[in-house]
Structure 1
């Protein structure tokens, strides 16, 4: 009797899972504002370049929208900004972490730490990492964003994606990366990125869905 009851419970659970998978649909969540409206001039920073992903990269990443720009400060220092958004629909992809993408492109991770910064009145979880390729040095700050929450590790991102899909019918997500060339002076590069983040983080939140 116990064995028959266990099989019955297992059958009900499997049937329930099958029904959930058959009928479950995640919502397609739009950006609060399209990236095309992102300002070229903000708080003294001025856009000096904008680039596009190649067709092959777009086929792999499948972003709903993205923005790749270079901004220059009044003192002439430059910062590169990359924003990508995935609306959670069936035709969108997902975030590819720099921990996997950059080494595959020939970059070597010299250091990496998860940290927290207070930006725009919020506690923002992010990664600060230094990468090298030959003589080049690139300082990168990046984080993941889902439903109003910032994350700095891939496990939290995956858990948020699963629970968001199960309980909110949402798996929309965003990736933000800010980078500068370190040029042997990592402290100066850190200051440059953090100045940029203080000016731009509140603006990022205007575009991303909560």
Structure 2
């Protein structure tokens, strides 16, 4: 019990430090009188609906969810390649600026609920663009006998980050260094097939991610 309390206190301490840093950054930039740099990006609505063998169908994000997400550009699209396997759900949230109160929400806060509970969370290394290693999160949720496998990461200014806290740190640093606060969350989610199990689900997700990566650059500025 004491260990859990200490862990929660450490989490809140880190979060408090990040919030204080963000507030301090805003004051510094305001005192400089510089307009924020907001790089050009293609709208997510024009994201390819065909990725390798996958064909995508866009999901309508409810207005109530958009209000929670804040000011940004969002995509929720279901990609399928065979009727014999579960589809892949791609969600991208891109924020041109995170200084007006809109910021990236961690899937660990958004996904649990409605009977779904997290049962696994790990960091894994995947081959990124140009085969550069990138750290991402592998997250598994359960509801009765059903399982969801989720891969997600934060992407900003040419950098891929798994940790929410490091993403906030780099946000502060880049706000001061290059006067930018844009950033994105990429989430790839699919159901674990009851017949083929987790290994097949991982393979499907990773194949989709490898085909997805080359398209992201036009929509998430480096």
TM-score range, shorter chain: 0.7 to 0.9
Number of paired residues?
Answer: 194
* Partner residue in 1 for 2:213: 201
In 2, the alpha carbon distance for the partners of 1:89 and 1:174 equals: 10
Does 2:170 match 1:160? yes
SS at match of 1:116: strand
Deviation track 1:22-68 (CA, whole Å, cap 9, x = no partner) reads: 43556252453211211112222111x32122222211211411110
In 2, the alpha carbon distance for the partners of 1:116 and 1:134 equals: 29
Does 2:183 match 1:183? no
* Larger gyration radius, structure 1 or structure 2: 1
* Partner residue in 2 for 1:95: 104
* Partner residue in 2 for 1:20: 28
Does 2:163 match 1:135? no
The 1:18–1:143 alpha-carbon spacing in structure 2 relative to 1, beyond 3 Å, is: closer
Does 2:64 match 1:52? no
TM-score, length basis structure 2: 0.78
Deviation track 1:132-151 (CA, whole Å, cap 9, x = no partner) reads: 12332100000001111011
TM-score, length basis structure 1: 0.83
Deviation at 1:96, TM superposition (A): 0.7
In 2, the alpha carbon distance for the partners of 1:52 and 1:118 equals: 31
Deviation at 1:202, TM superposition (A): 0.9
The answer on whether the counterparts of 2:121 and 2:138 sit within 8 Å (CA) in structure 1 is: yes
The answer on whether the counterparts of 2:76 and 2:92 sit within 8 Å (CA) in structure 1 is: yes
Structure having the higher strand fraction is 1
In 1, the alpha carbon distance for the partners of 2:171 and 2:25 equals: 18
Q: In structure 2, list runs of 5 or more residues that go unmatched.
A: 1-23
Does 2:160 match 1:150? yes
The 1:45–1:31 alpha-carbon spacing in structure 2 relative to 1, beyond 3 Å, is: farther
